[in-house]
Amino acid sequence: MRLVFFGTPDFAVPSLRALIGEGFDLAAVVTQPDRPRGRSRSVLVPPPVKEVALAESLPVLQPEHPNDPAFLDALRPYEPQLGIVVAYGHILRPDLLGLPARGMVNVHASLLPALRGAAPIPHAILAGLEETGVTIMQMDAGMDTGPILHQVPTPVATDETAGELEVRLAELGALALIEALALLEAGALTPRSQNERGATMAPKLAPETSRITWSDSTGRVGRHLRAMDPRPGAWTELEGKRIKLFGPHQAGAAPPHTTPGTIVETEPALLVATGDGLVQIFDVQPDGKNRLAASDWIRGRGARPGDRFA
């Protein structure tokens, strides 16, 4: 079966490597264009998927707009039978979805119909889910609404960050994809429609979404910090300057009448009041600087007991 692979970030790399390792016939790899990085924005950095594809001498296509007729014309000569989409970053329209003879399948990082959308991993942690997983889905024109082909669940650890969960789900997704393709080839997969009553959404995280609400419960504040770790980082302000916080641990009850957001202690790490208790913070990232241990930031006069995050 001749495949075309669509993907861009690190999350897509294990699936691409798995297809290569299993000897699938990859006609081409489609990814986003190289993007400028660095302070001067003068260095173009290729997507992780492109680097893997070039190392394997696979053809790479990088359309700015994959739904343009010009790109469809460029893809047709490769004669793909099936498209594989993993965190590509574009909504694909019916003309493109229908170009491969057998359509396209998607590796989605949730147990659909739960958490449809661009950010299922942080939203799984924000929601306090005890279980998530990956879904292999036949794509249609909707937002993660197509028939389910295969699902693999996995528990969410109580102290797991979005970054840690992403790594696990990327590997799990690669295994699930290979399983699904084997079942598909054997005629052993029966697509099933999603139950719309169980559908929830996981939209892209906006900057304001990642701001910490200190009046929330300790459990909710902790989930928020883990959901935003490492990207985009849960943030707050101290004396008008933005700072990101990481590594939360629940730490008991706050002193009576302590305003949420107040720094109660700074040794051995930040101890901050929430709406119903205390949360201990072990890593910080001041605006414009690198992430560092909270203890190092405190020694640099970053904060004192009685200061308040806003």
**Tokens 């640099």 sit on residue:** 300
Beta carbons of 38 and 12 less than 8 angstroms apart: no
pLDDT at 301 over 80: no
Structure tokens given for 181? 């393709």
Task: Note the pLDDT tens digit of each residue in 1-38.
Answer: 999 999 999 999 999 999 999 999 999 999 999 999 87
d(CA 303, CA 136): 47
Beta carbons of 68 and 44 less than 8 angstroms apart: no
> Within 13 Å, how many C-alpha atoms sit on residue 269's CB side?
17
pLDDT at 300 over 90: no
CA dist list (Å): 301 to 80, 194, 305, 307: 60, 54, 11, 12
**Closest CA relative to residue 7, chosen from 62, 78, 81:** 62
Range name among 109-113, 151-155, 264-268, 300-304 with the lowest pLDDT average: 300-304
Residue type (1 letter), 155: P
Q: How confident is the model at residue 81 (pLDDT cuts 50, 70, 90)?
A: very high
- For the chain, domains (ranges, CATH) are 2-198 (3.40.50.170), 207-299 (3.10.25.10)
pLDDT at 149 over 80: yes
Q: What is the mean pLDDT of residues 90-110?
A: 97
Task: Note the pLDDT tens digit of each residue in 167-222.
Answer: 999 999 999 999 999 999 999 999 999 999 999 999 999 888 999 999 999 999 99
Render the burial of 17-53: b for 16+ CB within 10 Å, e for the rest.
Answer: ebbbeeebebbbbbbbeeeeeeeeeeeeebbbbbebb
Residue type (1 letter), 112: L
Q: What is the mean pLDDT of residues 108-128?
A: 98
**Closest CA relative to residue 111, chosen from 159, 154, 174:** 154
Measure CA 265 to chain center. Answer: 33
pLDDT over 70 for what percent of the chain? 100
Q: What is the pTM of this model?
A: 0.96
Residue type (1 letter), 137: M
pLDDT at 308 over 90: yes
Across the chain, what does the average pLDDT equal?
Answer: 96
d(CA 122, CA 227): 4
Write a three-state SS string for 148-208.
Answer: EEEEEEEECCCCCCHHHHHHHHHHHHHHHHHHHHHHHHCCCCCCECCCHHHCCECCCCCHH
> At a CB cut-off of 8 Å and minimum separation 6, what does 274 contact?
214, 215, 216, 217, 218, 221, 254, 260
